[in-house]
Structure 1
Amino acid sequence: MGLAFTGYSQSKITGKIIESDDNTVLEGVEIINLDTQKSTTSKLDGSFEILNEGLYSFNKKGYVVKNLNLIFNQYYIIQLNINPSELNEIIVHANNIPKALKKATASVSIISSKDIKRSNNINFAPILNRAPGVFMQSGALNTNRITIRGIGSRNLFGTSKIRAYFKDIPLTNGSGETNIEDFELASISRFEIIKGPASSIYGAGLGGVIQLKPQNALLNQTHLNTALSIGSFGLIKGVVNINHGSSQNSLRAVYSNTKTDGYRENNAYNRQTFTLNSNHFLNKKNELSFLASYVDLKAFIPSSINETDYLNNPKSVAFTWKQSQGFEDAKRGVFGISWNHDYNSNLKQASSIFTSFKNVYEPRPFNILKENTFAIGMRSRLLGKSKLFSKNLDWTFGGELFRDIYRYKTFENLYQGFPAGTGSVEGNQLSNFKEQRNYYNIFAESNFEASNKTTLSFGLNLNKTTYNLEDNFMASDENPDQSGKFKFKNIVSPKFGVSHLFSKNISVYSSISHGFSPITLNETLLPNGQINTNLKPETGWNVEIGIRGTTLDNRLQFNTSIYRLDIKNLLVSRRTAQDQFIGINAGRTQHDGLELALNYNWLQKESISISSFVNYTSNNFIFKEFTDNTDDFSGNDLTGVPKDIFNAGIDFDSTFGIYGNINYQYVGSMPITDSNSLYSDSYNLTNAKIGYQANINKMLKLNVFFGANNIFDVHYASQILINASGFGGNAPRYFYPGTPVNYFGGINLNYIF
């Protein structure tokens, strides 16, 4: 739909063309008068000017064609939707400088809304695993670990060393830990994943950046969408999605409620989310947007189990977690306001302020944790278009400030002194800490069109990170005062990239980039309570070369790359007790890899389409140098990452309503211990979904579906805990059992007012 402002012109029609997902302005859109066949194109800032009324077609490769009737005396904003079959042509924000994916100088994967809808809309893992080089392990809906090119594999719990943003709001805390799995998938339009430290704009993280793009509301349209899903192990999920767009404002609100008993004991999950995203076009030059997300979660924790239980009783929960009935009760909120201002067609400012909070109550066998985090920050940047040697130069310059205050207390868990099944009982306080974590990034990046076919990219990021720890627990010989400060030295991370169009549809790209990963404050603490100021952050260089494009009459899309990521000051978390770890720098790792993604349209007719995808990841990750105490693991395979990952699938769609897909995944064996004495087994998973959608009338649309995951009931470990230690003579608990065959079905109704 188009957005119209009246009174801007008397004898012509003006407007701007944007992408419906994230309001990116689209240049070079062909605007054709369908009566006269005369055409014009949108300018660099997405603006256009037309002298005649009539029916017009808006056409840009990578986007769905839109036809609109335009009249005098109105200013239009036209939204174009992405065409999932032409992702190489779409405009991406990989480094905040909008450009076509085929001209990007770094490895970028796009996961579209079509990809998100392939599954049962519950779990992030099968969706993110569509991207080569990305591997998400999922021990439970609230227990996950994401790695990109092997980065983050040594983090024992959760995701680390990978940055994530929801629109322009950081989802990564001051210690470099990231949580995205609690967000509602129905509120996300697509993911853009930058692999490796190729993004100066987003902090030059070693693993890369995951950008979550929220669903924007459609202009001049109001509709209500409701969905209900049910499935195995007590799964029930409801989603309500309200979209309202007027002539100058648009708003989308999404509420979801997800409940499941879980496959394992002590595995119940109950989550409610609310997401609000609004856009306000104030005038030709100014736009405001608001984003809010709230999550209320209670999830019980079955934890990992030992090999004997994994093989013989995979439903079981770790004994002490069962006795204490351990769970996570969390409330999280993210809020942000963004302002975009066009000074002129060549200069734009984009600024945002944001805040977030997290409150968690988590009874564990060894203690009860109470924690809360409050964060605030801002990002601002200028985006400009200039000329250098008569060639186009796109550039951006800006900064990001971030501060979070993290308070946490632990208490004795007295569950052992009470009857079995009573659950956790709070005892004496054991600790009381307050962390203040601050960082700033100053960044600059440019794309220089050296020729019509060659683009050069330069980037630089400056980061400063500091921690301040207050120990508010009464100090004693057994509990020394651990208060102190920790400051990183300034870290400068440059990058250089080049892409070259060999033909209209095929390009080659290459880049070299530097990145780093911050140390968590807990890792800096020594057993005597002092802060280890000699600890260094992991840093590394990534070198890669790749080719992407389309061929066979645009039916085949391909993207492949090879890379080497060399990391020094390898950080190792050494466990000193059940809930205590210290960090040490223990050597270097070398990450050599190959990534391949293929998409092929077998049949593309008006009434029916059949397409398939294949992606493959080959990892050769080793400890280049690694000595832990007296053990030398140099030359061993990196722990927690499979050698090979293969995904394939077929999609079917038709105008008579029936659609479906089938997806297959192979995951190779993974080393579980640094000594490589124990590996997990490789496994194969197959998922499928079929549905029917129809227009009941002009205003009501129906969608019913049914699906199955792990169709062949494979026994596998969906997540592993590396280098686990056994306490009290018990066997180490390495394995999180994967869910066996499970089914789901649902109904979706969309009412257009």
Structure 2
Amino acid sequence: MPFIKKELPFLLLICIFNLNIYGQSMIKGKIVDGENNTALGFTKIINIENNETYYTSNPDGTFEINKAGTYTFKKEGYIEKSLKLEENQFYIIQLNINPSELNEIVINANHIPKQLKKSTASINIISSEDIQRSNNIDFAPILNRTPGIFMQNGALNTNRITIRGVGSRNLFGTSKIRAYFKDIPLTNGSGATTIEDFELASISRFEIIKGAASSIYGAGLGGTIHLTPQNSYLNNSNINGEFSIGSFGLVKGIVNVNHGSLKNSFRAVYSNTHSDGYRDNNSYDRQTFTLTSNHFLSKKDELSFLGSFVNLKAFIPSSINETAFNENPESAAFTWRQAKGFEDSKRGILGVSWNHEYNSTLNQSTSVFTSFRNAYEPRPFNILKEKTFAIGIRTRLLGNSKIFDNNLNWTVGGELFKDNYKYATFDNLYQDFPAGTGSVEGDKLSDFKEDRKYYNVFAEGNYEISKKTTLSIGLNLNETSYVLNDRFPASTENPDQSGEFKFKNIISPKLGVSHLFSENFSVFSSISHGFSPLSLEETLLPDGQINNSLKPETGWNFEIGARGSTTNNRLQYNISLYRLDIKNLLVARRTTEDQFIGINAGRTQHDGLELALNYNWLNNENISISSFINYTLNNFTFKDFVDDSNDYSGNDLTGVPSDIFNTGVDFNSTFGIYGNINFLYVGKMPITDSNNLYSDRYSLTNFKIGYQLNLNKKLKLNTFIGVNNIFDKHYASQILINASGFGGNAPRYYYPGNPVNYFTGVNLNYNF
């Protein structure tokens, strides 16, 4: 007992000390990119009260803190964020990218997170600020700010995107370029891609891989456009409404709602757009609804949903001949106006993604998706009915290993895609009815069903030879096949066209290296292989049989480039030189007004230079002024091109401008005024393979200014006004290459661009 009395104070002290230790609760969390949820390692975590750096996040973005308080999270390339952290909680910290430090951001374009400045491929980021510079109606002004990319738009629903000249020979729409909305393919089973139907307000970022430089996405010589939907934000609830009007009867409304708790978040975006259009038979009506949600089920599991629905009815003015283009550009093609041609389509996509962390060095991501499209399109030569239904799965493992004490980041996975395409044509009897009646459906002319499928198996690894040098090796295996079922009764005039077409397995390798000469300057180089599949329509011969001798276009891309910035980060620059050699050039030879056959006719050589400069002239607490210059120089030629008896070898590639120059100035201030001015120059384009006709070079100047005001702590007001084509330039916004005249009519090469036009609107944002 005397011993216990003597030692009692000491024992009590030990107990109190132990209780204090075990009573402290660790604060845990993970730091991610706010739009694509890529983990952000090595983020500084600073306590605001004493400005002491307590921790730096782990390579996988996780962190632990043993003291409650308000902390600031700082990482190069991202806007810093402050948040009050409480004990006994697990936090997901979402950081948004800083547009003035794009080379520093962590990209996920090839599924292996890495800083853009360490990438071995030519990748461009279009941020949400870039998207908001324009009138959120057209994709073209946004994409055309990126070197190497050119989007022509004959109307809001008539577009063609080319990357480094690839896809320029596709007569209608975009082909030979892959596109994804998050992990969901927007490219159908025959290689056609449509992105312009989506609402720009539902997109937060574009990541664009140029050239055949990705082993992850498979078929697509031109590259890949990755659309990142507006993410749903945690710990935030707000509603944003926007209403705008403009020239040519433009009326648009947007409602954007976000609700987020600690671990679950939801975002819904609805838009309604109407335009009468500049030209005859040019009205446009579109409604969209996009839903995203994120659910952090545990420290190791994340579930996300993505759904999108588009309801579109857009009339088609089509292309016109040179006389009409110069004298009456607002006119529609005569037959399209008489038939009142239009497209009426409904499309939807739905995807579920699951991310699981097995341990700190191994993750798995799996997405299951489905999509559909139903369309009705009366044209002067027939009426087309289409139904497409697609399903697929994409899964990949992402790991980090050590080899000779150096990091190897790797991914391996696969994608399986299948779509069913049913289409039928009907006689259009519009000529048998009084003028103004429009299209009238007649007898069925054809009835087809296509089953199209492909699979990609891919692997890619980035090995850090040293802290400054990264070696990238990738491999893609693709198999694509089609089955055509002709469901129309066979006859002498309509032979049975049923059949199968299957590509041989195509293996596409990639090798790249990047080296950091300093923290602000890096050089990269790559050699990569790619291919583009044929569409089933291109394989059909006039006698109705499938031409199994056709080969897909394949090519090698050779590139060297540099990225960097000045020490104070005021100037950022990216430059690249490349050569893309394509063989088995596929030519669509027109046989009738609505029929084409495909032939392999030679090779093309694409030599180019791409330059991007961004400079911050002024950046203080009150005002920021920045400018950009983007330049693309294209030297694209037919290396070997013989079409029937015509030898076009050595000619310029059709449908691609000689060069593109884009520059602009952005202004922002804390007192609410902001604005930008943008100048675009587009060089001349060959319209015919013989190069006997070129489009005129043109320039456009656009301007936008706005005012933002905090009405109270929760309500923000934003008003804006803009003018496009300020100097009212007459130009062709899209051309139809190698157009033929039928019935003695002149060829219709030109889609007139809009003259000077304005838009204005108001935006209200309320934070709950």
TM-score, structure 2 normalization: 0.97
Deviations 1:473-520 (A, max 9, x none): 000011000000000000000000000001011100000000000000
Identity of aligned residues (%): 74
Amino acid at match of 2:170: N
- Where do 1:289-300 residues align within 5 Å? 289-300=304-315
Amino acid at match of 2:539: T
Deviations 1:81-111 (A, max 9, x none): 1111100000111211010000000000100
- Where do 1:677-696 residues align within 5 Å? 677-696=692-711
Amino acid at match of 2:35: D
Confirm whether residue 32 of structure 1 aligns to residue 46 of structure 2: yes
- Where do 1:335-734 residues align within 5 Å? 335-551=350-566, 553-734=568-749
Amino acid at match of 2:591: T
Contact 2:164 2:606 (8 Å CA) reproduced: yes
Amino acid at match of 1:139: G
Write the distance in 1 (CA, Å) between the matches of 2:130 and 2:84: 32
Amino acid at match of 1:83: N
Secondary structure of the structure 2 residue equivalent to 1:502: strand
Secondary structure of the structure 2 residue equivalent to 1:123: coil
Write the distance in 1 (CA, Å) between the matches of 2:697 and 2:539: 35
Amino acid at match of 1:190: R
Q: Which residue of 1 aligns with 2:18?
A: none
Contact 2:520 2:567 (8 Å CA) reproduced: no
Amino acid at match of 2:141: P
Q: After TM superposition, where is structure 1 displaced by more than 3 Å over at least 4 residues in a row? A: none
**How much does 1:57 deviate?**
1.5
Amino acid at match of 1:22: N
Q: Which residue of 2 aligns with 1:125?
A: 140
**How much does 1:38 deviate?**
3.4
Secondary structure of the structure 1 residue equivalent to 2:348: strand
Write the distance in 1 (CA, Å) between the matches of 2:649 and 2:461: 39
- Where do 1:198-347 residues align within 5 Å? 198-347=213-362
Secondary structure of the structure 1 residue equivalent to 2:323: helix
Write the distance in 2 (CA, Å) between the matches of 1:632 and 1:93: 44
Confirm whether residue 17 of structure 1 aligns to residue 31 of structure 2: yes
Deviations 1:334-361 (A, max 9, x none): 1100000000110000000000000000
Write the distance in 2 (CA, Å) between the matches of 1:33 and 1:111: 32
Amino acid at match of 1:412: D
Write the distance in 1 (CA, Å) between the matches of 2:81 and 2:537: 54
Write the distance in 2 (CA, Å) between the matches of 1:691 and 1:122: 17
Write the distance in 1 (CA, Å) between the matches of 2:503 and 2:146: 33
Contact 1:10 1:73 (8 Å CA) reproduced: no
Deviations 1:524-552 (A, max 9, x none): 00000000000000000000000001115
Write the distance in 2 (CA, Å) between the matches of 1:144 and 1:11: 57
**How much does 1:186 deviate?**
0.1
Deviations 1:401-449 (A, max 9, x none): 0000000000000000100010001111000000000000000000000
**How much does 1:650 deviate?**
0.1
Deviations 1:636-693 (A, max 9, x none): 0000000110000000000000000000000000000000000000000000000000
Q: Which residue of 2 aligns with 1:4?
A: none
Write the distance in 2 (CA, Å) between the matches of 1:477 and 1:339: 53
Amino acid at match of 2:96: N
Amino acid at match of 1:642: P
Contact 2:134 2:141 (8 Å CA) reproduced: yes
Write the distance in 2 (CA, Å) between the matches of 1:58 and 1:730: 66
Secondary structure of the structure 2 residue equivalent to 1:692: strand
Secondary structure of the structure 1 residue equivalent to 2:518: coil
Write the distance in 1 (CA, Å) between the matches of 2:117 and 2:274: 41
**How much does 1:276 deviate?**
0.3
Equivalent in 79, 82, 97 of residue 97 of structure 2: 82
Contact 2:24 2:66 (8 Å CA) reproduced: no
TM-score, structure 1 normalization: 0.98
**How much does 1:9 deviate?**
9.5
Contact 1:204 1:461 (8 Å CA) reproduced: no
Write the distance in 1 (CA, Å) between the matches of 2:492 and 2:366: 50
Write the distance in 1 (CA, Å) between the matches of 2:497 and 2:69: 73
Deviations 1:693-739 (A, max 9, x none): 01000110000000000000000000000000000110000000000
| Number of residue pairs matched by the alignment | 746
Secondary structure of the structure 2 residue equivalent to 1:72: coil
- Where do 1:171-210 residues align within 5 Å? 171-210=186-225
Contact 1:9 1:74 (8 Å CA) reproduced: no
Contact 1:330 1:359 (8 Å CA) reproduced: yes
Amino acid at match of 2:473: F
Contact 2:54 2:65 (8 Å CA) reproduced: no
**How much does 1:383 deviate?**
0.2
Gaps of 5+ in 1: 1-7
**How much does 1:282 deviate?**
0.4
Write the distance in 2 (CA, Å) between the matches of 1:590 and 1:143: 27
Write the distance in 1 (CA, Å) between the matches of 2:473 and 2:453: 27
Secondary structure of the structure 1 residue equivalent to 2:445: strand
Q: 1:540 to 1:9 in 2, by over 3 A?
A: farther
- Where do 1:29-178 residues align within 5 Å? 29-36=43-50, 37-178=52-193
Amino acid at match of 2:40: L
Bigger Rg, structure 1 or 2: 2
Q: 1:9 to 1:582 in 2, by over 3 A?
A: farther
